[in-house]
């Protein structure tokens, strides 16, 4: 069974304090690894897809990287508007998405 | 481009009652998904449609949950009868090519 584990569960940062979120996974044939952002009371918002080890994607203050066993989401110089829950999901060869429980990031001004 | 639409946004019912949720996917997206998200957890797939047909419903509690997608566009998810443990957010998502899934705002269900 495909498994996704995210750590830490919660992360409190000061504005400008860079940090990383971890997503470790086991999957029977990785088609893609997805990162989503979810704000309270809203549905997940797509951020990135990574397809192979060594790949990197960037968007504003966010950078996602992928290895054969895990992915990292780096937040550089975060702002309060980066506060959200970040979800990681893996898509197996059957196209099914399996999600982790998420990391809730709080950025204080 | 309009996003995935869902209604209602909130619903409170008593246990053993029935409830239905509606989803309108992004125009042109052939694949539609229903997920259940319990507080503090990631979304869990309940059912996946490709056009009108069911692709995967292996995690759908079929004794109480049902879903349909008529004409390959809108979809409804029904729970009958509801249990306390069904309290969750029900998310609808759609994709064009079974790659990136785009989510709606969700329906928050509270069963008392």
Mutate one of A43, A87, A94, A95 to test the B interface: name it (highest B CB count within 10 A): A43
Element (H, E) at A48: strand A45-50
pLDDT at B71: 85
Q: B23: distance to nearest CA of chain A, Å?
A: 13
Per-residue pLDDT of chain B (112 residues; tens, 9 = 90+): 789 999 999 999 999 999 999 999 999 999 999 999 999 999 999 999 999 899 999 999 999 999 999 888 999 999 999 999 999 999 999 999 888 999 999 999 999 9
How would you classify the pairing of strands A103-108 and A10-14? parallel
Q: A54: distance to nearest CA of chain B, Å?
A: 20
User: Which residues of chain A have a pLDDT value below 70?
Assistant: none
CA of residue A76 relative to chain centroid, distance: 14
pLDDT at B85: 97
| Distance from the first to the final alpha carbon of chain B | 37
d(CA A4, CA A13): 24
Q: Does A101 touch chain B (CB under 8 A)?
A: yes
Nearest CA in chain A to B90: A43
pLDDT at A31: 94
Please name which of A99, A101, A107, A102 lies closest in space to residue A83, comparing C-alpha atoms.
A107
Identify the three-state secondary structure at position A45: strand
């Amino acid at each position: 069974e495909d498994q996704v584990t995210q750590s830490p569960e919660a992360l409190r940062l000061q504005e400008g304090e860079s940090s990383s979120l971890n997503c470790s996974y086991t999957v029977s044939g990785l088609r893609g690894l997805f990162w989503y952002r979810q704000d309270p009371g809203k549905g997940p918002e797509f951020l990135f897809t990574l397809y192979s080890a060594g790949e990197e994607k960037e968007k504003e203050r966010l950078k996602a990287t992928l290895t054969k066993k895990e992915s990292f989401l780096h937040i550089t110089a975060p702002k309060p508007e980066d506060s959200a829950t970040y979800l990681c999901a893996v898509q197996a060869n059957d196209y099914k998405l399996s999600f982790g429980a998420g990391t809730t990031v709080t950025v204080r001004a | 481009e309009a996003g995935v639409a869902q209604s209602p946004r909130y619903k409170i019912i008593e246990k053993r009652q029935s409830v239905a949720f509606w989803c309108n996917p992004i125009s042109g997206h052939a694949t539609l998904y229903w997920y259940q998200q319990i507080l503090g957890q990631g979304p869990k797939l309940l059912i996946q449609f490709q056009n009108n047909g069911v692709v995967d419903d292996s995690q759908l509690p079929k004794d109480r949950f049902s879903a349909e997608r008529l004409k390959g566009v809108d979809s409804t998810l029904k729970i009958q009868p509801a249990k306390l443990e069904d309290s969750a957010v029900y998310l609808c998502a759609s994709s064009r090519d079974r790659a990136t899934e785009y989510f709606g705002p969700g329906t928050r269900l509270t069963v008392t």
